[in-house]
């Protein structure tokens, strides 16, 4: 159970934009360089994030991308689900889908029930964490130097 590179790059790009002045658009090449993401792949990701309502774009000189909302209102779940779809560890973990997994049981199986709980926990965890939380965590992890 691993995030795709697409979702990872989307998260990194969104966090990087959240760290910056929200009034100044970030150019794709600048973002690609700072986050070490291939430009062509980042272009596709940013377009998807824009189409999903999380970013806005500015054309022309000094143009680029901006967050569409403050970092404190954008959950990690929104970004991950936009890139990868909902987290579903097993087919039978989805509510109302007994018998759709390999076990063939018509009633919900134990594995489906357990992995359904995991799915709910992951969704709750990612839904409860925002870009601002990540940025704040980064700041608390930064080394401090005392003189």
Give per-residue pLDDT as tens, 42-90: 999 999 999 999 999 999 888 899 999 999 999 999 999 999 998 888 7
Q: State how far the alpha carbon of 25 is from the alpha carbons of 22, 40, 62, 123, in Å.
A: 7, 18, 7, 30
Average pLDDT over residues 126-146: 86
> Alpha-carbon distance 62 to 69, whole Å?
20
Query: What is the average pLDDT score of the chain?
Result: 88
Residue 98 scores a pLDDT above 60: no
Q: What pLDDT was estimated at residue 77?
A: 97
Burial class of 121 by CB neighbour count within 10 A (0 to 12, 13 to 18, 19+): exposed
Architecture (CATH level 2) of domain 5-138: Orthogonal Bundle (1.10)
The residue written with tokens 């359904």 in the block is 116
Q: Where are the beta strands (DSSP E) in the chain?
A: 55-58, 64-67
pTM: 0.85
Task: Calculate what percentage of the chain has a pLDDT beyond 70.
Answer: 84
* Domain ranges (residues) in the chain: 5-138
Q: Residue 102: pLDDT band by 50, 70, 90 thresholds?
A: low
The alpha-carbon radius of gyration of the chain (Å, integer) is 19
Q: 16-37: per-residue pLDDT in tens?
A: 999 988 889 999 999 999 999 9
Residue 103 scores a pLDDT above 90: no
Residue 97 scores a pLDDT above 60: no
Average pLDDT over residues 4-12: 96
Q: Say if residues 78 and 72 touch (Cβ distance below 8 Å).
A: no
The residue ranking higher by pLDDT, 98 or 61, is 61
């Amino acid at each position: 159970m691993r995030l795709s590179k697409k979702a990872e790059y989307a998260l990194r790009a969104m966090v990087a934009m959240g760290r910056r002045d929200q009034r100044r658009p970030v150019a794709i090449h600048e973002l690609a360089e700072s986050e070490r993401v291939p430009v062509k792949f980042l272009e596709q990701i940013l377009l998807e994030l824009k189409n999903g309502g999380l970013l806005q774009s500015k054309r022309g000189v000094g143009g680029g991308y901006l967050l569409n909302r403050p970092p404190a209102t954008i959950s990690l779940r929104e970004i991950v689900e936009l890139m990868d779809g909902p987290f579903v560890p097993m087919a039978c973990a989805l509510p109302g889908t007994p018998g759709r997994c390999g076990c063939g049981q018509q009633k919900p199986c134990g594995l489906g029930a357990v992995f359904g709980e995991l799915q709910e926990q992951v969704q709750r965890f990612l839904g409860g964490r925002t870009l601002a939380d990540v940025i704040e965590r980064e700041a608390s992890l930064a080394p401090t130097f005392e003189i």
